[in-house]
Amino acid sequence: MNPLAKYLDPEVIQQVGRLDLRARFIVEGFLAGLHSSPFQGFSVEFSEHRKYVQGDEPRTIDWKVFARTDRLFVRKYAAETHLACHLLVDTSASMGQVGAVQSADEHAADVRSGKLAYAIHLAAALGYLIVKQQDAVGLGLIGEGLEQFLPARARRAHLVHLLGALAAVEPRGGTGLGAGVEAALAQIPHRGLIVLISDLLAEPQAVRDALHRIRFRGHDLIVMHVLDASEAHFDFEGNVRLEDPETRAHVVADAVAVRAKYLEAVRAWREELRAQVEAVRGDYVPLDTAMPFDKALVEFLVQRQRRR
């Protein structure tokens, strides 16, 4: 069967259309909000400007931007600004629902539940934003290994294909982060920007290896670390059964009794991850599912600007 035929299925078309609308809503609302944000006066179209550095020709300085921001930016040409960004999304079982299960109506209103829903919508919005900026975006879905890979393209038709791949994702299997990243990197021919979207619930050495592989290949790196709000804030009460969705190992604990130690352990873990990412000259963005997508997009733009 033609591999594109599955995207002609009415149910898939509906899922892709819903995800496309959500991505547009997130990005267009975010861009409109920039007018009243600290980014006021700054060009959202990064393909047009970059920061002035010593040695640049004064004639390339955009003095109108300087008048609004009191910062020096120079105009860039399209050939100088093309970006190839690959979004590597963790689709393992640990990215599924955490905490109370949603009702059938709530689940039907979304493509997936939990961290994976957040990661899917975040990846869709980033893809929409990148293509809107006339840059190229690719996608790697990582479960026990590299499940699917789409090379970076800048066309709108490619974005629809990417959204279709995201809309079909189900959380399943173990976390093969190291193998998945290595396989994805083998298919990326040129240096660019890698955005890793994951809960990073993998063996610590596998996470370190994945980070070092990305850096060794010369890519810029942004890690968007997504936890469920319940994982980040441990808002459980009474006795709670905590189960690993990948191994089914579980413990039963008194939520109030363990909350303080749990939160301290999460804080220490995230600080360690930040240090590991920064050690390979990457940027670490801690997120949870209660955070608005606006925050994630602002962080992406801030870190992307640093990567330039």
- pLDDT for 66: 81
| Range 33-51 average pLDDT | 49
Q: Is the pLDDT of residue 247 over 90?
A: no
Task: Write out pLDDT tens, residues 151-165.
Answer: 999 988 999 999 999
- pLDDT for 104: 41
Superfamily covering domain 82-307: von Willebrand factor, type A domain (3.40.50.410)
What is the share, in percent, of the chain residues with pLDDT greater than 90?
44
- pLDDT for 260: 93
**Residue 297 to residue 46: CA distance in whole angstroms:** 14
Task: Write out pLDDT tens, residues 180-239.
Answer: 999 999 999 999 999 999 999 999 999 999 999 999 999 999 999 999 999 999 988 888
Lowest model confidence (mean pLDDT) among 137-141, 176-180, 290-294: 290-294
**Residue 207 to residue 190: CA distance in whole angstroms:** 22
Distance of CA 99 to the CA centre of its chain: 22
Question: Where do the H-state alpha helices sit in the chain?
Answer: 10-33, 63-69, 78-81, 104-108, 114-132, 156-167, 177-185, 204-216, 229-233, 255-279, 293-307
Phi, psi of 149 (to 5 degrees): -140, 130
Of 232, 225, 199, nearest to 277 by C-alpha is: 225
Task: Give the Å distances, CA to CA, from 223 to 73, 260, 273.
Answer: 27, 26, 10
More confident residue, 78 or 299: 299
Q: For residue 234, give the 3-state DSSP assignment.
A: coil
Tell me the Cα Rg of the chain: 20
Of 191, 266, 193, nearest to 225 by C-alpha is: 266
More confident residue, 23 or 10: 23
- Say what angle helices 114-132 and 156-167 make with each other, to 10 degrees: 180
Partners of 61 in the beta sheet? 74
- Give per-residue burial for 162-194: e unless 16+ CB within 10 Å, then b: bbbbbbbbebeeebbbbbbbbbbbeebeeebbb
| Structure-token pair, residue 289 | 């599912």
- pLDDT for 137: 95
Reported as a pLDDT band with limits 50, 70 and 90, residue 113 is low
Q: Which residues contact 100 (CB under 8 A, 6 or more apart)?
A: none
Lowest model confidence (mean pLDDT) among 81-95, 103-117, 135-149: 103-117
